[in-house]
Amino acid sequence: MKNSTYKKVYLAGSILLSLWFGLSGFFELTRNPAVWDITRKLGYPEHFIYILGVFKIVGVFILLIPNKFNRLKEWVFAGMLFDIIFAFCSKVAVLGPYSVADTLIALAILSATYFSFNRICHIIYAAKDLGR
C-alpha cells in the first residue's frame, strides 16, 4: 500500500475509534443508564466505570493530536486493546458468546488503525534517518 493509503486508513480509524471510545467515556462519566446497567451487570464497580471514562476521554484527545505524542499514542492503542479484550471476555462470561459483535468490530478497526499508524511512523522515521 502507498503511504497515502495508510494515512487515510489511520485517519478514518482514528475518527471511528475516537467516536466509539469518546462517546463511551462520556456516557460512563455522565452515568448514562444504558452504559452503566451493562457495565454493572458485567460485574465492574462504580469507581472503575468513572476511571475508565476518564482514561477513554484522555486517550481520545491524545489520539486526535496530529503528529505529536507518538509514543503516548502507542499506550493509547494498548489501553484500547485491553479495554476491548476485557469487554469481550466479560461479555462472553456473563452475557454469552452472541453479545460480542461490537467488540469484534472494535478490534478490527483498532487493528487496522494501529497497523496504519505503525506504517506511517516507520516511513516518517526512515525518512528522518535518510536525511529527507
Distance CA 47, CA 20 (A): 21
The domain containing residue 7 runs over which residues? 3-129
Q: Tell me, what's the pLDDT at 2?
A: 75
Kindly list the distances between the CA atom of residue 60 and the CA atoms of 1, 5, 66, 109, 129, in Å, as whole numbers in the listed order. 26, 22, 12, 15, 30
pLDDT digits (tens, 9 = 90+) for 36-73: 999 999 999 999 999 999 999 999 999 999 888 999 99
Residue closest to 94 by CA, chosen among 58, 34, 35, 44 = 44
Residues of 76-97 as b/e, b for ≥16 C-beta within 10 angstroms? bbebbeebbeebbebbeeeeee
User: How confident is the model at residue 19, as a pLDDT?
Assistant: 97
Q: State residue 31 phi and psi, 5-degree precision.
A: 55, 45
Number of domains, the chain = 1
C-alpha grid cell, residue 38: 451493562
The Cβ of residue 103 has, within 10 Å, a number of other Cβ atoms equal to 19
Average pLDDT over residues 75-93: 96
Higher pLDDT, 91 or 1: 91
Q: Where are the beta strands (DSSP E) in 14-86?
A: none
Q: What is the pLDDT of residues 93-122, one digit of tens each?
A: 999 999 999 999 999 999 999 999 999 987
Question: What is the pLDDT averaged over residues 12-30?
Answer: 96
